[in-house]
Each structure stands twice: as C-alpha cells, then as structure tokens.
C-alpha cells in the first residue's frame, strides 16, 4: 500500500534521519587518496579545495575549520553533519560558500548556528528536525530558502529575512510550532502583516505566526495558502476562507488541534495532500461547488468529523483522504467524481501501516460511477443514490397525477351542471382515465 503519498511530510522528516552511511567513515586522522579524516570530519578534495562529506555523530564540535592540509574548506556536502546530536552551537567559516541539502538535519541539540556570509541558498531540509534550534541569522547573500529548510524546528521563534531573498519554497517553515515573528522589513519580496507572511503582492500566504488563536480570517485577495503555512497553529478554532482562495497546499493546516469549523467559499478548487491532517476537533465539512480535487490524506485523523458533504463537480478524491475519521459514518460520492483513491473512506490506519475497515460505515453512490467501483473494490457497504431518486420521482409524479385527476373530476362536475350531453361527458372521462393509466404504466416501467 502506498502510504508514502498520504503521509509524505512525515516520511520526509524521517528519511533525513536514517543516514546510516555516515557511520561508516574511518576516523583515523589519515589521508587516503583525495579523502582526509581527522577524527571529527571527513573531507574530500574537489577542484583544489576541501568539501566536508561526513562527521563523527558522537563528536563534540563548536566550529568548522577554515583550512586542512593547506587547502581551504569551501563546501559542506549533502547530509554531511546530519544526526550529529551532540552539537549545540556551531560556527561555519566564511570560506564555505556552499552547504548541501539536509546538511544539519536531525541535529537535535543544535541551538544556535553562525552561517557563512557568501552562501546563496538555505538548502532543502538543511535544519529539518533541529528541534532545539532557537536562533539562526540568515546571511544577506541568501536568495532562496528551499523546501523543508526549517521543518519541525519546534523552538524557533523568530526569523529575519535578508534583503536579497526572493524565494521561499513550500514547507520551508512547516511545523515550526513556536514561530511568532518573521521580520521581513528588509525584504522586498515578502511582507509580514497581521501575523501572516505573504508575498509582496499579497496573493499567497507562506507562513503564519503560531500564536494566532480563535477566529482566523484569511485576507480577501489571497489565492493560495501554501504548503505548511498554518501547520501546528494550535490555537485556531474557526477558519474563514474567502472566495479568492483557489488552492490550499500540502500540510497547510496540519495539527491545528483546536480547529472546529471551516467556512469554505465558492472559488476553492484544490485541497492538497494532508492539508488538514490531524485536526482532531474538526466536526463538519461543507465543501464549495467549485471544488475539483481533494488530495491524498487531506483529512487524515480528523477523528471528530461527523459530516462531509462532497458537491457535484468534484472530480478526484485521493488515497486515504478520510482515513482514521472514525466518527464519519456515511458519505455521498457525487457522479462527477472520476477517481477515488485506495482507502479514501471507511478505513483506519495503525502505527504499523495496516488498514482496517471501520464498523458501521456506508457510502451513497451512483450506479456505474467511480464511487460505486470504489465501494465494491474496498468491501465498503453502499447504497445507490440514483435508485432512491427514481423512487422519489415516481412518488412525486404519482401525487401529481392524483392531483390532476381530482382537478379533472371537479371540472367535469362543473361542466355537468351546465347540461352537457351524458354521452359526451362519458367519452371524455374514459379518455382521461385511459391517458392516466398509460402515464402510470410508463412510470412503473421506468422504475
């Protein structure tokens, strides 16, 4: 079962911490070919300078040297210092101009780091899972903060964006549960107002302050709520989304544990993967008619959810979209839905990665639809909506025919008082009765 699609953020965080190759270096303090080891770091000679490619995960270190064997240290490779759990503070010399992806991921004791002045990027996952990181000064040279750069830096409270910064990628500050202030005063590409970090034209929210509480109104004019923007904003209770919003990104409201109600407006098209994962107090969902896609795991573990109204016009419901929603007992899947992913409805998912069918769950589907196919393939109890509608139509038409017959009888009596010939009245009555009988037979045949 492809659970990685549903829980991509969680699995991404763990993948950065399982780098067993780092423990395979020989820390002998010797030079072997172009590789040098000094008991703390391993270096490779590349184009006349050294790149740090590994670190003894048990090492106690506070700074990286500028030189080794007469060569400048100019780069830190991908994952080079990941999982070095004993590093608390670290100074990196200005000779270093490049730092790779996940370079310090999983450095769980790291509190403060001094970055070199000439790096251009804060790489993908660079500080992911640095749960004690409290302070980081981003150099003025940085123009891009890549995805997952500060993911789950749960003690990081304040960040100052440099003037040259032009790109913050999705999930860069996702699940930073303590972040309160983002100083964007020197940065022309972003603005921080009313606890929202937005792009300069205020059409996209990149990150919100974790301190926001109660009723939260997304500003009108916002078209995108980016991945991770409100993740772990634990105080949000009621969320109001304007009609300008078309896209809600991955993990955008993950772990908003107090969230009870969402007011969706017409205009929303996409709810991305795990957008509202682990919102245990969310109770009802009335989606707008403009909605096209509900992503994989979008409402994973919304354990208080009792109602989800999916409108006609929705086309895609992703894998595990409503998995672990144990209070959700019935959902109607409209005929417009073209694809329903595995375990989207009626299933729970345990810590070992096993799915099981929920008790007392049922679907209402249209015959011949993707919803019906899902119910059959997944052994979910279901009933056909279109047959029920046909029965309702029959009742409505039958009542209308009875009403017409009563009206006809009244008219006939009125005409009889005017002295119409008995033979003409009888012929007209027989013709009406025959027509009513034929219409009734057609209704029965269609049913």
DSSP conformation letters of 291-323: --EE-TTTTTT-TT--EEEPPBTB-EE-TTTTT
Q: How far is CA 111 from CA 321, 368, 387, in A?
A: 37, 58, 63
**Cβ(102)–Cβ(151) below 8 Å:** no
Residue 87, pLDDT > 90, answer yes
Residue 108, pLDDT > 50, answer yes
| Amino acid 353: pLDDT | 86
- Provide the pLDDT confidence category of residue 270 given band limits of 50, 70 and 90: very high
State the average pLDDT over residues 122-148. 97
Of the ranges 79-93, 136-150, 287-301, 349-363, which one carries the lowest mean pLDDT score? 349-363
Residue 209, pLDDT > 80, answer yes
**Cβ(346)–Cβ(361) below 8 Å:** yes
State the average pLDDT over residues 86-104. 97
| Amino acid 135: pLDDT | 86
| Amino acid 55: pLDDT | 95
| Amino acid 434: pLDDT | 62
Residue 189, pLDDT > 70, answer yes
- Provide the pLDDT confidence category of residue 216 given band limits of 50, 70 and 90: very high
| Percentage of the chain exceeding pLDDT 70 | 79
Please tell me whether residue 381 adopts helix, strand or coil conformation.
strand
The residues pairing with 208 across neighbouring beta strands, listed in sequence order, are 196
| Amino acid 49: pLDDT | 96
State the average pLDDT over residues 315-322. 98
Computed on alpha carbons and rounded to an integer, the radius of gyration of the chain in Å comes to 32
The string of pLDDT tens digits covering residues 54-69 is 999 998 899 999 999 9
State the average pLDDT over residues 317-337. 97
- Provide the pLDDT confidence category of residue 387 given band limits of 50, 70 and 90: low
Residue 183, pLDDT > 70, answer yes
Q: Length of the chain in residues, anyone? A: 447
- Provide the pLDDT confidence category of residue 386 given band limits of 50, 70 and 90: confident
State the average pLDDT over residues 232-252. 98
| Amino acid 430: pLDDT | 63
Q: 109 or 398: whose pLDDT is higher? A: 109
| Amino acid 40: pLDDT | 94
* Residue carrying structure tokens 């998912």: 349
State the average pLDDT over residues 377-405. 62
State the average pLDDT over residues 334-356. 95
Of the ranges 129-138, 319-328, 383-392, 406-415, which one carries the lowest mean pLDDT score? 406-415
State the average pLDDT over residues 323-333. 97
Of the ranges 2-11, 93-102, 288-297, which one carries the lowest mean pLDDT score? 2-11
- Which helix (H) or strand (E) covers residue 416, if one does? helix 385-417
State the average pLDDT over residues 359-388. 93
Residue 169, pLDDT > 90, answer yes
Most distant CA atoms of the chain, gap in Å? 125
State the average pLDDT over residues 8-18. 42
Residue 46, pLDDT > 50, answer yes
Burial of 414 (0-12, 13-18, 19+ CB in 10 A): exposed
Residue 437, pLDDT > 70, answer no
Distance, in Å, from the CA atom of 162 to the CA atom of 156, rounded to the nearest integer, reads 17
Q: 29 or 192: whose pLDDT is higher? A: 192
Distance, in Å, from the CA atom of 76 to the CA atom of 198, rounded to the nearest integer, reads 31
- Provide the pLDDT confidence category of residue 351 given band limits of 50, 70 and 90: confident
Supply the mean pLDDT for the chain. Answer: 86
Residue 398, pLDDT > 70, answer no
| Amino acid 21: pLDDT | 32
Q: How far is CA 187 from CA 102, 169, 416, 432, 444, in A?
A: 25, 15, 90, 81, 71
DSSP code per residue over 345-363: SSEEE-TTS-EEEPTT-EE
């Amino acid at each position: 079962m492809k659970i990685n699609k549903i829980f991509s953020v969680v699995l991404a965080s763990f993948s950065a911490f399982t780098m067993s190759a780092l423990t395979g270096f020989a820390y002998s303090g010797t030079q072997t070919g172009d590789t040098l080891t000094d008991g703390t770091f391993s270096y490779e000679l590349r184009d006349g300078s050294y790149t740090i490619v590994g670190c003894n995960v048990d090492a106690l270190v506070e700074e990286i040297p500028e030189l080794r064997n007469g060569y400048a240290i100019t780069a830190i490779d991908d994952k080079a210092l990941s999982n070095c759990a004993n590093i608390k503070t670290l100074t990196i010399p200005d000779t270093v101009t490049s730092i790779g992806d996940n370079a310090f991921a999983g450095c769980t004791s790291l509190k403060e780091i001094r970055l070199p002045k000439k790096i251009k990027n804060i790489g993908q996952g660079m500080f992911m899972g640095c749960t004690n990181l409290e302070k980081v000064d981003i150099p003025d040279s940085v123009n891009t903060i890549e995805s997952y750069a500060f993911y789950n830096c749960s003690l990081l409270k304040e960040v100052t964006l440099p003037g040259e910064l032009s790109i913050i990628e999705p999930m860069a500050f996702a699940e930073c549960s303590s972040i309160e202030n983002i100083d964007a005063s020197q940065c022309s590409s972003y603005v921080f107002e009313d606890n929202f970090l937005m792009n300069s034209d205020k059409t996209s929210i990149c990150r919100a302050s974790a301190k926001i509480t109660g009723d939260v109104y997304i500003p009108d004019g916002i078209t995108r709520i980016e991945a991770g923007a409100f993740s772990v904003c634990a105080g949000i209770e009621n969320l109001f989304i304007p009609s300008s919003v078309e896209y809600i990104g991955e993990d955008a409201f993950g772990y908003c544990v107090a969230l009870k109600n969402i007011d969706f407006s017409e205009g929303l098209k996409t709810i991305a993967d795990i957008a509202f994962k682990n919102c245990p107090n969310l109770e009802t969902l009335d989606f707008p008619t403009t909605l096209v896609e509900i992503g994989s795991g979008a409402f994973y573990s919304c354990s208080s959810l009792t109602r989800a109204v999916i409108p006609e016009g929705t086309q895609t419901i992703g894998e595990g979209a409503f998995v672990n929603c144990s209070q959700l007992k019935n959902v109607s899947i409209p005929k417009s839905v073209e694809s329903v992913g595995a375990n989207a409805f009626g299933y729970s998912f345990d810590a070992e990665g096993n799915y099981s069918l929920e008790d007392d769950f049922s679907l209402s589907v249209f015959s011949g639809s993707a919803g019906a196919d899902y119910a059959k393939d997944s052994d979910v109890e279901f009933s056909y909506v279109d047959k029920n509608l046909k029965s309702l139509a029959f009742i409505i038409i039958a009542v209308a025919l009875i009403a017409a017959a009563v009206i006809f009888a009244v008219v006939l009596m009125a005409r009889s008082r005017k002295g119409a010939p008995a033979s003409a009245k009888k012929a007209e009555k027989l013709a009406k009765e025959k027509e009513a009988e034929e219409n009734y037979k057609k209704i029965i045949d269609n049913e």
